Amino acid sequence: MPAAVKNKIAGFMNSLIELARDDPRRVIHSLKVGIALSFVSVFYYYQPLYDDFGVSAMWAVMTVVVVSEFSVGATLGKGLNRGMATLLAGALGIGAHHVANQFGHAGEPFVIGFFVFMLAAVTTFVRFIPGVKARYDYGLLIFILTFSFVSVSGYRDDEILDVAQKRVSTIMIGASVCVIVSIALFPVWAGEDLHYLIALNLEKLGNFLEGITRSISKRNLAQDPERDFAYSARKMDAFTGFGDEYFQDQESKTEDLASTLQDYRSILNSKNTEESLANFARWEPCHGRFQFRHPWKLYLQIGTLARQCAYRIEALNRYLTAEIQTPVSVRAKIKEPGTKMSRECGRALKEMSTAIKAMCQPCASDVHIEASKAAAKGLNSLLKSGIWEGIDLLQVTPVATVASLLIDVVNCTEKIADAVAELASKAEFKRLSDGAPSPEKLVRRGHVAITVEESNMNNRASDE
């Protein structure tokens, strides 16, 4: 038993260490919550402040616990929701108590009960509105709670105004402390995380289509968009993309392709994460090059198009990993346009990813998109030329489906390029001639460090 307990404790400690290594910001966030709680506890321990607020000082402590979130946007959104909801509900609660007093002691509880019923019912129904639920659901919940607390407690407590004032004051203090600590000490911006998450998703799509060049490191880093990555160009190992793998001989395919190029699957389930980050980002003040009215909705549009592309790539991957493969001679008939479409789309997506990270105009991707469209046009002409005559239909169908999916991928890539161009225009991304950093020399401060060989600068830098 002692050995088993010791092993469990050691395993738990190792998991904590690994959790901290995955994202050191988690450790910093934990320390920030501790600092905020320690600060508001002074209101309870310091006698002069306790004389002013009394037991109501505990509301400040409770506010810090429920408002403290990982990012600045989430903390600010919750803090403003809680503060404004408490202020408005407290004022309405006092008003309801004043109106109920006009009906005498016998009628007062019925009037208060009617007000509580109506406000709780209407507010709960409003919470079902999608736009309201996304941004103000927590505020509406606190609004119902505070109104019920103030209006109902006023029936037994004659000093209702003092109770409401103390509750509002302590909640405002607790929320303010959370926001100040979140912004002042190593802030984590939800908008920045969304920005790099979208860029990373586009890079994952490009990696599957074109292939990747990545470093060989002793420690295999987990796939997490919030992780720090550092790649060295001293040892590079190239993995071919879909086109090269599908149209070559089965025996010569890269063995570890399945585990290397299938990072795109995380994009299929990224909708909730993207929407949450976009919602939090709208609450955040200006920071860096992210201005007050930054077009966060366009990031969601790009994310939606990326998922549509990922679904088509998922279908392509099934033909790549199928146990029964179409003969090489049949696949070879569309090898040249198919390989070019896959490679050019992958390069275009990587160029867009790099441009988003550097916040510069995605000019280089247009060349690859035009090349992929030309290849798609050539493939359409080839399919209409009767190249399948004399070939079994069961062998033709999978290859024709792959060709159709590749054409769809080209169309998706073009739509993504249009959305990225719109984002670059509305967000006022810089042109390279305006002093923006070169995409090949891009370094994400505090998150990604990249070293690139001169010979591999063109579409070969990966910081997944």
Pick the more confident residue, 219 or 65: 65
- CA angle (380, 311, 458) in 5-degree steps: 70
In a domain? residue 461: no
In a domain? residue 462: no
In a domain? residue 443: yes
Q: Are 238 and 195 in a shared domain? A: yes
Secondary structure, 3-state, 249-314: CHHHCCCCHHHHCCHHHHHHHCHHHHHHHHHHHCCCCCECCECCCCCHHHHHHHHHHHHHHHHHHH
Pick the more confident residue, 258 or 9: 9
Q: Are 153 and 207 in a shared domain? A: no
In a domain? residue 351: yes
Q: Which of 329-333, 415-419, 442-446 has the lowest mean pLDDT?
A: 442-446
Burial of 87 (0-12, 13-18, 19+ CB in 10 A): middle
Could you say which of 155, 184, 213 is where a domain stops? Answer: 184
Q: Are 21 and 144 in a shared domain? A: yes
Check whether 300 has a pLDDT greater than 70: yes
For residues 257 and 211, give the distance between their C-alpha atoms in angstroms, rounded to a whole number.
10
Give the pLDDT of residue 370: 92
Pick the more confident residue, 312 or 261: 312
Q: pLDDT by residue (tens digit) across 254-294?
A: 445 555 567 888 899 999 999 999 999 999 998 888 988 89
Give the pLDDT of residue 57: 78
Q: What is the mean pLDDT of residues 25-31?
A: 93
Give the pLDDT of residue 356: 94
Check whether 382 has a pLDDT greater than 70: yes
For residues 258 and 269, give the distance between their C-alpha atoms in angstroms, rounded to a whole number.
19
pLDDT, averaged across the chain: 80
In a domain? residue 162: yes
| 215 strand-pairing partners | 236
Give the pLDDT of residue 238: 52
Q: Are 134 and 206 in a shared domain? A: no
Pick the more confident residue, 445 or 358: 358
Pick the more confident residue, 115 or 58: 115
Check whether 6 has a pLDDT greater than 50: yes
In a domain? residue 463: no
Task: Calculate what percentage of the chain has a pLDDT beyond 90.
Answer: 40
Q: Are 174 and 202 in a shared domain? A: no
Q: Which of 143-157, 188-202, 251-265, 436-450 has the lowest mean pLDDT?
A: 436-450
Q: Are 54 and 146 in a shared domain? A: yes
Looking at mean pLDDT, say which of 336-340, 395-399, 437-441 comes out highest: 336-340
Q: Are 127 and 213 in a shared domain? A: no
For residues 243 and 262, give the distance between their C-alpha atoms in angstroms, rounded to a whole number.
14
Q: pLDDT confidence of 380, banded at 50, 70, 90?
A: confident
Q: pLDDT confidence of 159, banded at 50, 70, 90?
A: low
DSSP letters along 25-94, please?
HHHHHHHHHHHHHHHHTHHHHSHHHHHHHGGGGHHHHHHHHHH--SSHHHHHHHHHHHHHHHHHHHHHHH
For residues 350 and 370, give the distance between their C-alpha atoms in angstroms, rounded to a whole number.
15
Could you say which of 127, 152, 184 is where a domain stops? Answer: 184
Q: What is the mean pLDDT of residues 245-252?
A: 64
Range of the domain at 283: 190-456
For residues 379 and 432, give the distance between their C-alpha atoms in angstroms, rounded to a whole number.
35
Residue among 196, 425, 239 at smallest CA distance from 346: 239
Q: Are 443 and 385 in a shared domain? A: yes
For residues 144 and 119, give the distance between their C-alpha atoms in angstroms, rounded to a whole number.
7
Phi, psi for 262 (deg, rounded to 5): -105, 25
Give the pLDDT of residue 400: 87
In a domain? residue 343: yes
Q: Total domain count for the chain?
A: 2
| Region label for 221, one of left (φ > 0), alpha (ψ between -120 and 50) or beta (otherwise) | beta
Q: pLDDT confidence of 371, banded at 50, 70, 90?
A: very high
Could you say which of 184, 209, 227 is where a domain stops? Answer: 184
pTM over 0.85: no
Pick the more confident residue, 250 or 415: 415
Q: What is the mean pLDDT of residues 395-410?
A: 89
Given a contact cutoff of 8 angstroms between Cβ atoms, the answer to whether 209 and 320 are in contact is: no
Phi, psi for 383 (deg, rounded to 5): -65, -30
Pick the more confident residue, 51 or 266: 266
Phi, psi for 121 (deg, rounded to 5): -65, -45
Specify the CATH number for the domain of residue 401.
Answer: 1.20.58
Phi, psi for 115 (deg, rounded to 5): -60, -45
Give the pLDDT of residue 451: 29
Please state the separation of Cα 367 from the chain's center in Å.
29
In a domain? residue 326: yes
Pick the more confident residue, 227 or 262: 262
Q: Are 103 and 134 in a shared domain? A: yes
Q: Are 237 and 173 in a shared domain? A: no
Check whether 318 has a pLDDT greater than 90: no
Q: What is the mean pLDDT of residues 324-341?
A: 84
Q: Are 231 and 175 in a shared domain? A: no
Q: What is the mean pLDDT of residues 315-337?
A: 83
Q: Are 206 and 350 in a shared domain? A: yes
Q: pLDDT confidence of 184, banded at 50, 70, 90?
A: very high
